[in-house]
Chains A and B, each alone.
Chain A
Amino acid sequence: MTENLLIQFAIIILFLPLLGFVVTLFLGSKVKKIFLFENFVLILAFILSVIMVFAKLNYYPQENIVSEFHWISLNNVPLFGTLNIDLGILVDNISVLMIFVVTLISMLVHIFSIAYMHGDKRYNRYFAYLGIFTFSMTGIVFTHDILMMYIFWELVGLSSYLLIGFWFEKKSASDAGKKAFIVNRIGDIGMFSGILILFSTYHTFTFDKIFTQISLGVLPFNSEFWLTVTGILIFCGAIGKSAQFPLHVWLPDAMEGPTPVSALIHAATMVAAGVYLVVRVFPILTGGALEFIAIIGALSAFIPATIALTQNDIKKVLAYSTVSQLGYMVMALGVGAYKFAFFHLVTHAFFKAALFLGSGSVIHAMHHEQDIRNMGGLRKKLPLTYATFLISTIAISGVPLTSGFLSKDGILAGTFAFGSLTGQWFFAFVGFFVALLTAFYMFRLVILTFHGEPRNKEKFDHAKESPFVMVMPLVVLAALSIFIWYTPNPFNPEQGAFLSKWIKAPTIVVPQNARYSFMKNDVIKPAEQVQTAKPKTEAEITFSESYTEAMHHAHIPAMLLSLTLAGLGILLAFSFYQWKKLDPDKLANSIKPLYKLSYNKWYFDEIYQATFVAFTLGLSNVLYWIDTYIIDGIVNGSATVTKQFSKFSGTFDNIVVDGLVNLMATISGFIGLMFRRLQTGKVQTYIVVVVFSLVIILFLFKSF
């Protein structure tokens, strides 16, 4: 397994889903079974990615394998000189782990969809859309430059739009698709501006080259402030794509799409792309930018968690939980817990995909009933779905022996360490409180759905366990939510190869005084030594000793505290909904304003409707008025002038020009008529004329 072979594997994995998309789309209406080809392609991509993960982690555990080519070469660009725009593929540990997650979940979702979408009238097209989504996501994962990332970023946005609005006959579905697209665009504008700042400063899009230049002290506009701004702008892309506060409003609406799509795109992979972006650009984020990211992450973790408490739609609860968990990851990145953020991304992808597919299985069994108030007691009818759903719920709640416990605990420890180092305990507080809320609302969901007595007898009677192709992905994903894949010790994630060998925090390249204090190098090296001491293949941790120390100390208390809170949350959920010791309605009545705030999703949609949407509509109306009366007036005026001029010119043509031409014709005709008489056709007349003419000529020219 050479490096070259790895690159070729990456390229094959990248283009296989595109092949599947093209074939499925163009043959979809003719060949009924073409969706099997799409599934086959994905299974192939998954097998390749498994081989790739093993090869990369075994033979090249430290190297970043890069293959790039000049996409556009320009000579003599004004102000820039020679300009090469490169595209390329980067295979490092993070990208192979991510590609494993993406292809695995995508494959499972494909298989799940075979049964879930059965009988849909656009069955093959659905699989084609899944194919282009997988292609775009793979592109994001493998890119080595931010331009290519932006290209694929927009492509996942497109495929997300297509899949949310897949049942576009439903107004709510098509509206949700549009909303997702437009809200994402707002974030993407920020990301694009960030890319522009980077490009105009460094004249390259490649991550490595940008990092090198920053570590040499080249800054945008020569100021650290602008580096912070750039980081925040790029993070705006992640705010949109990862549905962070304040742009989280599109994700719950996106649940209008088919449930497997929600599992693939809006839980496991695409929304994680934002986190992945921050992971990629992490080295250029200054302390200020990281703090901003942490605040956004904390708000995104807290607000949706409170909303999820009161929602009654099974998918809505999961959607808000997704936003909340993504907020966790983003907050973890913001407080510098880089490894745990990526770890949580991976573990969350598995158990959240399992939860969504499980809810898909429930919805399928209940004949498209999504309201948990009409469920209950499904444990007996759907035993396998229940078991997998429960394991995933335990994982997301952070109970020991699960993957979620490991990663979430790491994040909480990170916020704890951050608090002890900087004195800002806000993030730790939010983190622990959200852990409590998460355990509560997830168990509320499980109890209302699967426990107790069936509340809708008729639907309950018709429910039956889903077919094998739907249960198999659930089992696989639930199995991946167990700790054993990540670490041998269920209480210490650091002992596993995942965190100790595979993921390394990258070298921070921003200037020393723009960093968090704990990220400063303990011994400041001279500039040239820094440069030589950082071969890119060996991304060493630049966190200081004090941070490692704090992290170490934070581990135990954070774990104990999070365990207590998760247990408390679960206990509360059981006493409210299972044992009925406490009455949720009474509690809701006693804190009515808070309950209504949560139930109405903090009125975000209404606020946006009243402010941004209304403002935009008002502006559009003004522009419409300007268009109708001023622009159109000018256009119509010029049209009238032109028309009048044309009329005049037409008249001139008719009378003067045509008159002259006709006059010539008339004269010619008249002359013709005159001379016509001479042509009698009689030879003798001609001879008479000739003779007389001759005689006349003789007399005229006589020389005598």
Chain B
Amino acid sequence: MTQIGLNHFLFVSVVLFCLGIFGIITRKNAVMVLMGIELILNSANINFIAFAKYGNFGYQGQMMALFVIILAAAEAAIALAIVLNIYKTFSTVNVDEIDTLKD
């Protein structure tokens, strides 16, 4: 069993990122898309923490991670409000069907 190093963290982060993208692209439900976005943000957090641990940056990485968490919370609040409004307007939260911008 090898020592867990920076690459492992990065690998997890990449997997999370790809899952997030995959979620955003494949899910039809807007809430699921938002969850994909959360996954991407978290993969970024892992990156920050990992570089902070293995690099020589002091606590800057952790600080950024905290910022991102707060930002994610704010974003979730706003995004869910938008989703609610979308639902009110179109009676659905299915992003495939919301394409009036095309016209």
Contacts and interface: CB of A to CB of B under 8 A. Distances in A.
Interface of A: 679-684, 687-688, 691
A292 B24 CA distance: 122
B100 interface: yes
Nearest to B96: A682
Contacts of B96: 682, 684
Nearest to A679: B102
A687 B33 CA distance: 11
Contacts of A681: 98-103
A682 B102 CA distance: 8
Nearest to A691: B21
16 contacts: A679-B101, A680-B99, A680-B102, A681-B98, A681-B99, A681-B100, A682-B95, A682-B96, A682-B99, A683-B95, A684-B24, A684-B95, A684-B96, A687-B24, A688-B25, A691-B21
Contacts of A680: 99, 102
A94 to B, nearest CB: 99
Contacts of B102: 679-682
Given A684-B96, A691-B25, 7 more contacts: A679-B101, A679-B102, A681-B98, A681-B102, A683-B95, A684-B33, A687-B24
The 4 closest A-B pairs by CB, nearest first: A681-B102, A681-B99, A681-B101, A684-B25
B20 to A, nearest CB: 11
A242 to B, nearest CB: 95
A683 B99 CA distance: 8
A629 B33 CA distance: 90
A72 to B, nearest CB: 77
Contacts of A682: 95-96, 99, 102
A105 B102 CA distance: 98
Interface of B: 21, 24-25, 33, 95-96, 98-103
B9 to A, nearest CB: 20
A6 to B, nearest CB: 95
B23 to A, nearest CB: 10
B99 A687 contact: no
Contacts of A679: 101-102
A220 to B, nearest CB: 94
A60 B101 CA distance: 104
Nearest to B99: A681
Interface centre among A679, A683, A687 (most CB of B within 10 A): A683
A267 to B, nearest CB: 96
A614 B57 CA distance: 121
B101 A687 contact: no
Contacts of A687: 21, 24-25
Contacts of A683: 33, 95
A469 B98 CA distance: 104
B98 to A, nearest CB: 8
A569 B11 CA distance: 152
A691 B22 CA distance: 11
B28 to A, nearest CB: 9
Contacts of B103: 681
B90 to A, nearest CB: 13
A687 B40 CA distance: 13
A679 B103 CA distance: 9
Contacts of B98: 681
B33 to A, nearest CB: 8
Nearest to B24: A687
A684 B23 CA distance: 10
Nearest to A682: B99
B53 to A, nearest CB: 24
A680 B96 CA distance: 10
A372 B90 CA distance: 112
A130 B34 CA distance: 103
A691 to B, nearest CB: 6
Contacts of A684: 24-25, 33, 95-96
Contacts of B100: 681
A59 to B, nearest CB: 103
A691 B25 CA distance: 10
Nearest to B18: A691
A691 B102 CA distance: 21
Nearest to B21: A691
Interface centre among A680, A684, A691 (most CB of B within 10 A): A684
B78 to A, nearest CB: 16
Contacts of A688: 25
A682 B27 CA distance: 12
A681 B90 CA distance: 15
B31 to A, nearest CB: 14
Contacts of B101: 679, 681
Contacts of B21: 687, 691
A543 B98 CA distance: 122
A240 B41 CA distance: 114
A291 B102 CA distance: 108
A689 to B, nearest CB: 11
A680 B95 CA distance: 12
B40 to A, nearest CB: 11
A688 B27 CA distance: 13
Contacts of B95: 682-684
A537 B103 CA distance: 102
B61 to A, nearest CB: 24
A683 B94 CA distance: 11
A684 B96 CA distance: 8
A253 to B, nearest CB: 89
A574 to B, nearest CB: 119
A294 to B, nearest CB: 106
A248 B48 CA distance: 124
Nearest to A684: B25
Contacts of B25: 684, 687-688, 691
A693 to B, nearest CB: 13
Interface centre among A680, A681, A688 (most CB of B within 10 A): A681
A679 B101 CA distance: 8
Nearest to B28: A684
A682 B98 CA distance: 7
A688 B25 CA distance: 7
Contacts of B33: 683-684
Contacts of A691: 21, 25
Nearest to A688: B25
Nearest to B27: A684
A414 B21 CA distance: 135
Nearest to B30: A683
A501 to B, nearest CB: 110
A687 B95 CA distance: 13
B38 to A, nearest CB: 15
Interface centre among B25, B95, B98, B100 (most CB of A within 10 A): B25
Nearest to A683: B95
A371 B102 CA distance: 103
A680 B100 CA distance: 9
B22 to A, nearest CB: 10
B44 to A, nearest CB: 15
Contacts of B99: 680-682
A680 B25 CA distance: 14
A684 B22 CA distance: 10
